[in-house]
Structure 1
Amino acid sequence: MNTLIKLEILRTLRNKKFMFFSVLYPAMLYLVFTASVKGDETIGDSKLTFPVLYMVSMASFGALTSVLIGNAERIAKEREKGWVRQLRLTSLPGHGYVMSKMTSASVVSLPAIVAVFLVAAVSKGVRLDAWQWASLLGVIWAGSLVFAALGVAIGYTATGDAVRPLAMAVYFLLAALGGLWFPASQFPQWLRNIVEYVPTHAYAGLGQAIERGDAPGAKDLVILFFYLVLFAGVAAWMYRKDTHKS
């Protein structure tokens, strides 16, 4: 399994177009959306200024881009080309394949997170304590495993031609409802009651708590763990289902 993880990481790093989109795109969006915003105004009841709040949103968005879209498309194409069928002839167990995809995807998300942090610190003067930077990096990276598992599930749901529109639809829906583009505090109250249980909302909430100097909320942790188990379970079930078809 370790060999497959290394292979997956190297394959992704060699894809220059994907790396450009997943690493630089969120950082560029951060610059665009914070260009005309005053740095001393807090947003809603978050107690955070927009540059600080949006830093976590775009770092989470970058990680989501890396692990969801890329994972889903690679798996769908590998199924069509017979690569997955070849792997089943080896001693690699089904759960090993799913875990290798999740792990390799989450490792690649690190550059996207760091890029947003650097842009926020340099362009907007975002300053946090050392423990907050380290905690943010760890939490956003670990949380990306949830969406890496979702990417695996989507990759087994659709064919190579259909996987991109499906992955993009899920991707934009999660980003919008999770408040990654615009603060969820600006949503109508009825919508805020719903998005509290959306995984991307909980994902961003962990980072925002750390930015305020608080411990991550138990509710957000429980929600993310629930979705991790759900998505990983669906991915494993889809893998086994696809095995029976082969």
Structure 2
Amino acid sequence: MTTADAPRTTAAGRRGPAGSGLLDLRPAPGAAGRARMFAAQTRLELVLTLRRGESVLLTMIIPVGLLAFFTAVDVLPSGSQKSVDFLVPGVLALAVMSTAFTGQAIATGFERSYGVLKRLGATPLPRSILLAGKTAAVLAVEVVQLVLLVAVGFALGWDPAGGPGAVPAVLALVVLGTAAFSGLGLLMAGTLRAEATLAAANGVYLLLLLIGGVVFPLSELPGWLRTIAQGLPTAALSDGLRHVLADGSGPGARPLIVLAVWAVASLALAARTFRWE
């Protein structure tokens, strides 16, 4: 074969010998660009999340059900506040926790147990893109959750304070809360067996639901338990959102500091201890 007969590559595709007019169908493997890998992994994570019935129950149906039930029965000691005005910020915090912590911990734990993460590690997909895709999928689900809960809240008579000026504070709290809960979820999924992760994640979810200021004010807890609860990310997120959306004030320094400390500590520890198989 002369130089003129050698295969040529053009922008339209790989072609056969010069003058043959035929496409060269030999495989040409290679990794896609990082942007394409990120988009594909995010789409895959989101589709898998929405296909899991238990995940949809945890992230969508339970928060909406709690909001509707406790608004209807009106048994909460919320003082002069309407129940719905007290409940919506707490249930928004619960929605973030259910997606970023409980759902992610359980899903990642079983992916690790089944060897999915080990096999993905053998592909050109970088681990940073894998984690970024998981995080982006979590944020996408949270957007759907927040829109749904806000719509249900308005339908139940919610009257938020703060107006459009509250949006930046709410976004800051949600992002910090997502980082904190994601770190805790990955820490649990990367160190425990899948079955233990399932039990522990659901147990922690129930505990934080009860003492995290979601449906009951922290002031109703015993003094020692209230002190512990105030240092938890769920209480920090629900209190911060309540300050902004119910009281019309800023989130306050304590919720932001608590969430930031949990986010930095949990993500650093998860990165240090996470085992991929």
CA 1:226 to 1:103, structure 2 compared with 1: closer, same or farther past 3 Å?
A: farther
User: Is 1:23 aligned with 2:73?
Assistant: no
**Which residue identity lines up with residue 244 of structure 2 in the other structure?**
I
Report the more deviating stretch, 60-69 or 202-211.
60-69
Unaligned runs of 5+ in 2: 1-36
Report the more deviating stretch, 146-155 or 133-142.
133-142
| Alpha-carbon contact 2:161-2:244 (below 8 Å) kept | no
State the partner residue of 1:201. 235
State the partner residue of 2:22. none
State the partner residue of 2:34. none
TM-aligned CA deviation for residue 192 of structure 1? 2.0
| TM-score computed with the length of structure 2 as normaliser | 0.76
State the partner residue of 2:204. 170
TM-aligned CA deviation for residue 191 of structure 1? 2.3
For 1:52 and 1:120, locate their aligned partners in 2 and report how far apart those are by CA, in whole Å. Answer: 8
State the partner residue of 2:146. 113
Query: Which of residues 217, 237, 246 in structure 1 aligns to 2:252?
Result: 217
Higher helix share: 1
Computed over aligned residues only, the root mean square deviation of the Cα atoms, in angstroms, reads: 2.6
Q: How does 1:82-231 map to 2 (within 5 A)?
A: 82-128=115-161, 130-131=163-164, 134-135=167-168, 138-139=171-172, 141-142=174-175, 143-211=177-245, 212-231=247-266
Report the more deviating stretch, 211-220 or 117-126.
117-126
Superimposed CA distance per residue, residues 116-154 of structure 1 (whole angstroms, 9 cap, x where no aligned partner): 222221123435454167457524532223212211111
Compare CA radii of gyration and give the structure with the larger one: 2
State the partner residue of 1:235. 270
Residue identity over aligned pairs, in percent, reads: 24
For 1:111 and 1:181, locate their aligned partners in 2 and report how far apart those are by CA, in whole Å. Answer: 21
Query: Which of residues 36, 41, 62 in structure 1 aligns to 2:95?
Result: 62
State the partner residue of 2:114. 81
TM-aligned CA deviation for residue 204 of structure 1? 0.8
TM-aligned CA deviation for residue 13 of structure 1? 2.0
| Alpha-carbon contact 1:101-1:148 (below 8 Å) kept | no
Unaligned runs of 5+ in 1: none
**Which residue identity lines up with residue 232 of structure 1 in the other structure?**
L
| Alpha-carbon contact 2:162-2:244 (below 8 Å) kept | no
TM-aligned CA deviation for residue 49 of structure 1? 3.5
- 3-state DSSP class of the match of 2:73? coil
TM-aligned CA deviation for residue 7 of structure 1? 1.7
User: Is 1:50 aligned with 2:83?
Assistant: yes
Superimposed CA distance per residue, residues 186-245 of structure 1 (whole angstroms, 9 cap, x where no aligned partner): 112232222221111111121011121111111211110110111111221222xx25xx
| Alpha-carbon contact 2:243-2:252 (below 8 Å) kept | yes
| TM-score computed with the length of structure 1 as normaliser | 0.85
For 1:75 and 1:4, locate their aligned partners in 2 and report how far apart those are by CA, in whole Å. Answer: 14
| Alpha-carbon contact 2:169-2:250 (below 8 Å) kept | no
For 1:140 and 1:15, locate their aligned partners in 2 and report how far apart those are by CA, in whole Å. Answer: 27
TM-aligned CA deviation for residue 57 of structure 1? 0.8
| Alpha-carbon contact 2:105-2:186 (below 8 Å) kept | yes
Superimposed CA distance per residue, residues 75-108 of structure 1 (whole angstroms, 9 cap, x where no aligned partner): 1211122211122223444444334333322321
**Which residue identity lines up with residue 87 of structure 1 in the other structure?**
L
For 1:106 and 1:127, locate their aligned partners in 2 and report how far apart those are by CA, in whole Å. Answer: 23
